[in-house]
Amino acid sequence: MKETKKNIMTYEGIKALEEELEDLKVNRRKEVAQKIKDAREQGDLSENAEYDAARDEQREIENRIEEIDKILKNAEVVDDDESVREVVTVGSTVKIYDLEYNEEIVYKIVGSTEADILNNKISNESPVGQALLGAKPGETVVVEAPSGEIKLKVVSVEK
């Protein structure tokens, strides 16, 4: 039997998914059911674009609910251990200094489910995330990237 991969997540990530799930189940389902009802009342369903669109939306909502249920079922919340405050772990906010480009960057290390590079949330499974895990302020880590090695100095770590 295939072993299910655990979704490593922060408490904030779990909370956001639970809120989205609640909204989908309580609000969005009702909205779409009303759209379907309204479209049915218009008569012939075979040529009713509004009915088809509402059914597609309903399918998307149900798929997202199923996806979130699977993620939460296999979620493992990272422990905010006081003893490792100065070490990069999942859930840490890390200020790093890119030695090649001479710039500071701030990343939050999250599980792959929560990764969102546009909001500077990188996965613990990404090359940069993996290289930073376990690092302490003042240490320089080397990231193996397709373009070559990237050297990053850890400036600070916050939980």
Residue-range domains of the chain with CATH: 7-77 (1.10.287.180), 82-158 (3.10.50.30)
pLDDT, residue 21, reads 95
For every residue of 87-120, which 3-state class applies, written as one string?
CCCCCCEEEEEECCCCEEEEEEEECCCCCEHHHC
pLDDT at 26: 94
The two structure tokens encoding residue 58: 């309903």
pTM: 0.72
pLDDT of residue 77: 85
Q: Please calculate the CA angle 109-111-117 and round it to the nearest 5 degrees.
A: 60
Q: What is the pLDDT of residue 65?
A: 95
Question: What is residue 48's predicted lDDT score, i.e. its pLDDT?
Answer: 81
Q: Determine contact, residues 151/95, Cβ cutoff 8 Å.
A: no
Which secondary-structure segment (H or E) carries 121?
strand 121-123
Q: Mean pLDDT per segment of 10 residues, for the chain of length 159 residues?
A: 71 91 95 91 79 93 94 82 72 93 94 92 93 93 88 92
pLDDT for 56: 94
Report the pLDDT value the prediction gives residue 84, as an integer from 0 to 100. Answer: 56
